[in-house]
Amino acid sequence: MKMLIHDVKLVYPERDMEEEGDIYIENGIIKKIGKDISTNGDIDIIDGRDKVVVPSLTDMHVHLREPGFEWKETIETGSMAAVAGGFTSIACMPNTEPPIDDKSMIEFIYEKADKAGLIRIYPIGTITKKREGKEISEMGDMFLAGAKAFSDDGACVQNSEVLRCALEYSKMFGVSIIEHAEDSNLSQEGSINWGKTATLLGLKGIPWVAETSMVARDIFLSSLTDGNLHIAHVSCWQSLEMIKWAKEKGINVTCEVTPHHLVLTEEDMKKSNYDTNTKVNPPLRTKEDQEALWDGIKNDLIDVIATDHAPHHLDDKMVEYNLAEFGISGLETAVPLIITYGYFQNKISLVKLFKKMSYNPAKILNIPYIPLEENVPANFTLIDLSLEKTVDKGKFFSKGKNTPFHGWTLKGWPIMTFVEGRIVFKEGKIMR
């Protein structure tokens, strides 16, 4: 296989730069990068105008549901959704049944990922046994088996002493504790953001302080232990203020934001006539919060953009709003959402946006990052910036069709995904 992508925008997130040029791939290896590359023989030439090549897109926050909830998603279908979304690697959260809380479960994830054969999947182990928040898991065994971080995502470790021990212990392995920051006493039975909209709609709200109070606690515990803390799915400006303070003090904290918190607010839930596909945790917040999140992207206070891909069966969403499960199926819409609203609307550079979806998550998880360099395997995504498509949940590879973006027209879609020298997705089809 010989392929030349001519006159394309090349993004180098690790170097904070982008340039126009050609990229030549032969037998899965990048042979040459430069200007006006000449080739001979039978070669597939792709016009790169209005297209961009981005290396090693990584989603560090994905729920694959297997084992235990295979009717919602499997490692196989999640892998297909990931490569269709342009990702070359993902990290899966441990809120499965049984949870990923010992080395046998870590090994299970790797075995199933190898069998699926599409993408690198890195398991996140639990912080506590059975995700009960009472006793830390066997982190050492899981780390040696290949766990890349630890999280009880879907639940916050409410016991401060348990989290302190986890931060202390995990730093022995140089890995992060990924915290779902939520005071469950403040958020219990809540469905949407606490405030006027919740009152008008007759739904119990989740106040911002449920998140920010735990962000503050976790930051102080990270400072105490010198442990590595990563705050998942930040949703409000108050949490960002705490994270900004922590970073200025030199505390080891990183954070992420989701595309849906960047694009949607509580007003979208209100307009949607109680569409349960807008129900997420943390909830969609205010316009002020959304603007603060975009500012956090622009000034690099936010380190990572991650989907929090949370696929659900139709039965989990076709119920009253307060009874519906939290979550959005996000792998297949993340890139066009970020290009449409980040690049085109907010005028943020591609290198800044994609650094938060490639180099930064790989660095936080200590997983391989394969850059655009000569004589290395092609591990990149080709995105057509001019391609406009309407989101059609019926065409998702994911089992989860729970998206609030169905029917939206977005611009900038992945058209080809290389994973370690293999084309795994091309023009709407999974390649094996």
CA 385 to chain centre: 21
pLDDT recorded at residue 124: 98
* Contact criterion met (CB below 8 Å) for 285 and 363: no
pLDDT per position as a tens digit, 49-73: 999 999 999 999 999 999 999 999 9
pLDDT in tens, 350-360: 999 999 999 99
Decide: residue 74, CB within 10 A, 0-12 exposed, 13-18 middle, 19+ buried.
buried
* Structure tokens, 139: 């982190």
- pLDDT, tens digit, 9 for 90 and up, residues 188-210: 999 999 999 999 999 999 999 99
Per-residue pLDDT at 89: 98
- How would residue 41 be classed by pLDDT, with cut points 50, 70 and 90? confident
Residue 162 predicted with pLDDT over 90: yes
CB 177 within 8 A of CB 230: yes
- Do the Cβ atoms of 418 and 379 come closer than 8 Å? yes
CA of residue 111 relative to chain centroid, distance: 22
Mean pLDDT of the residues in the chain: 97
Amino acid at 424: V
pLDDT(38) > 90: no
Measured between alpha carbons, how far is 102 from 28 in angstroms, rounded to an integer? Answer: 36
Give the tens place of pLDDT for each residue, 361-370. 999 999 999 9
Helix (H/G/I), strand (E/B), else coil: 424: strand
Q: What is the pLDDT of residue 1?
A: 85
Tell me: the pLDDT tens digits for 276-329? 999 999 999 999 999 999 999 999 999 999 999 999 999 999 999 999 999 999
* Residue 203 contacts residue 191 (beta carbons within 8 Å): yes
Q: Tokens 């979304």 identify what position? A: 85
d(CA 158, CA 297): 29
Tell me the pLDDT band of 39, cut-offs 50, 70 and 90.
confident
Tell me the average pLDDT across 87-91. Answer: 98
d(CA 128, CA 130): 6
Please state whether the peptide bond connecting residue 414 to the residue before it is cis, i.e. omega within 30 degrees of 0: no
> What is the pLDDT at residue 190?
97
- For residues 175 and 150, is the Cβ–Cβ distance under 8 A? yes
What's the pLDDT tens digit per position in 331-357?
A: 999 999 999 999 999 999 999 999 999
Q: How far apart are CA 239 and CA 219, in angstroms?
A: 11
The pLDDT assigned to 413 comes to: 98
Q: Which tens digits make up the pLDDT trace of 397-409?
A: 999 999 999 999 9
Strands 380-390 and 304-305: unpaired
User: Exposed (0-12), middle (13-18) or buried (19+): which is 42, by Cβ within 10 Å?
Assistant: exposed
52 touches 383 (CB < 8 A): yes
pLDDT band for position 40 (cuts 50, 70, 90): confident
List, for residues 165-178, the tens digit of each pLDDT value: 999 999 999 999 99
Q: For residue 318, what pLDDT is reported?
A: 97
Tens of pLDDT, residue by residue over 206-265, are 999 999 999 999 999 999 999 999 999 999 999 999 999 999 999 999 999 999 999 999
- Helix spans in 274-347 (H): 287-298, 314-317, 334-338
Q: Active-site residues: which are they?
A: 308
Distance (Å, whole) CA 321 – CA 319: 6
> Is the pLDDT at 432 greater than 90, yes or no?
no
Token pair recorded at residue 312 = 């659900």
Pairwise CA distance, residues 403 & 426, whole Å: 23
Which pair of structure tokens corresponds to residue 105? Answer: 């479960």
Report how far residue 345's alpha carbon sits from residue 411's, in angstroms, rounded to the nearest whole number: 11
**Phi, psi at residue 322, to the nearest 5°?**
-70, -15
Is the peptide bond between 123 and the residue preceding it cis, with omega within 30 degrees of 0?
no
